[in-house]
Amino acid sequence: MSDHVQTRVSNRTGIITLDRPKALNSLSLDMVRTLTRTLLAWRDDAGVAAVLIRSSSEKALCAGGDIRFFYDVGRATPTGGSALLEDFFTEEYALNHLIHFYPKPYIALMDGVVMGGGMGIAQGGPECGLRIVTDRTKMAMPEVNIGLFPDVGGSHFLSHAPGQLGRYLGLTGLTIGAADALYAGLADVFVPADQLEALNRVIDNSPGDTLDESVRGFAQPYMDRVGESDLAENREAIDTHFVLPTVAEVMASLEKDDSVFAQKALSAMRQRSPLMMCVTGELLARGAKLGVADCLRMERSVVRRNFENGEVLEGVRALVIDKDNAPKWNPATVEEVTPEMVERFFEPVWPDYAHPLRHLA
C-alpha cells in the first residue's frame, strides 16, 4: 500500500484521497498499484456503489507521473527497458483502462492541477464517469514540453475531442481552465471552489447509489458561473490551422495569423520537442480510428521507443533536473523531422501475443 493514497468507504461510496502534496500528487509506482488494487476490490464489493477520487490539497488532483523517477531509471537503462520503468507504464495504462470501463459511477474532483497522468485517472468512461472542474482547475496534456507524448489514453480522448481541439491541446501542451475543459468534452460539471465544502457535505450525506445524481444536481445551478471558453471563441482558427496534415504546415499557418491566440500557440510549439510533436500528430491520427484498449497498447509501444530514443530524458533534464529550460532537441526543428523518424516510434516492440497489455479488452 502507498503512504500517499488514502482510502475509505462511507455511505456506500469508496473515497480515494491522493496525499502527496509536495509533489502535486505525482504518481509513483506504489500509488498506481494502490489505486489498481483498491478499484479492483471495490469493483466486486456490493457494499460500494460509487467511487470518488480527490486530493488532500487544493493545489492539484494530480500533476502526472513522477518524471524524476522516469529520468533516474531511464538514464540507468539507456535502452529504455528497465524493469521498473516497464512495470510503471504497463500498470499505469492498465489502470487507465480499468477506470475508463469501471462499472460503477467514478467521480473525479479535478480541483487544481490535472495534467498528464492526472488526466489518465480522471477521464472515466462515458457510461459511468463524472468529471468535476472548479475555477482552480489547470488542465493540460503537456508531454511534448518534456519530449514525451500525450499518453495515459490521450491518443483516444484527445483524438475524440470536437474538431481539432485535441490536436491543438496535444501539439501545444497549453493549459486550459474549467470553461475550456467543459467545451472540449474533458469535463462534465462545474463547481466553484468556494462551494467545495458544501459539495463535500453532499458527498458525505448522499448514499453511493445516488451520488452521481446528487453531485450533478448540486452542480447544475453553478454552470452559468463557469465563464466564457477561449477555445470556443477561437474554434474557427483552431480548426483552420490544426487540421493541416503536418506539424510544419500547422506552424507555417499559425505564422501567417497575427492574432494573439495564434501567436501564443506558435510560441508554445517553438519550445516543444519537434520530433515528439510530429509523433503526437501521428499518434492522434491513428488513435482516432482505434478503441481505448488499442490506443493504450499503441501508447505502450511508443513510450518504450520514446525512452530508447532519449528525447524524454533530455526534456526532463532541461525542465526539471538542471532547470536551464534549454533542451537540446534532436532534431532541432520540425523541418528536420523525417517520416522515417516518426515511423520508428510505431514499430512493434513485442509480437501481439507477448504485448504487456495484450489482455485488455
361 domain residue, yes or no = no
Residue pair 60/114 in contact (Cβ under 8 Å)? The answer is yes
Band the pLDDT of 124: cuts 50, 70, 90. Answer: confident
Sheet holding 60-62, edge to edge: 60-62, 113-115, 138-140
97 domain residue, yes or no = yes
* pLDDT at residue 81, rounded to an integer: 64
* pLDDT at residue 125, rounded to an integer: 79
Q: How far apart are CA 353 and CA 349, in angstroms?
A: 11
* Residue 250 clears pLDDT 70, i.e. is over it: yes
Domain extent, residue 124, equals 5-354
* Residue 1 clears pLDDT 80, i.e. is over it: no
**Number of domains, the chain:** 1
H-assigned helices in 220-338: 230-233, 235-242, 247-255, 260-269, 274-287, 292-309, 311-316
* Residue 290 clears pLDDT 80, i.e. is over it: yes
Residue range 126-176, pLDDT digits in tens: 778 999 999 999 999 999 999 999 999 999 999 999 999 999 999 999 999
Residue range 224-234, pLDDT digits in tens: 999 999 999 99
* pLDDT at residue 80, rounded to an integer: 59
112 domain residue, yes or no = yes
pTM of the complete model: 0.96
**Which are the catalytic amino acids?**
65, 117, 143, 151
360 domain residue, yes or no = no
Which is it for strands 60-62 and 113-115: parallel, antiparallel or unpaired? parallel
What percent of the chain shows pLDDT beyond 90? Answer: 93
Sheet holding 5-10, edge to edge: 5-10, 13-18, 50-55, 106-110, 129-133, 189-190
* pLDDT at residue 74, rounded to an integer: 83
* pLDDT at residue 297, rounded to an integer: 98
* pLDDT at residue 73, rounded to an integer: 87
* pLDDT at residue 82, rounded to an integer: 83
CATH at residue 36: 3.90.226.10
* pLDDT at residue 78, rounded to an integer: 61
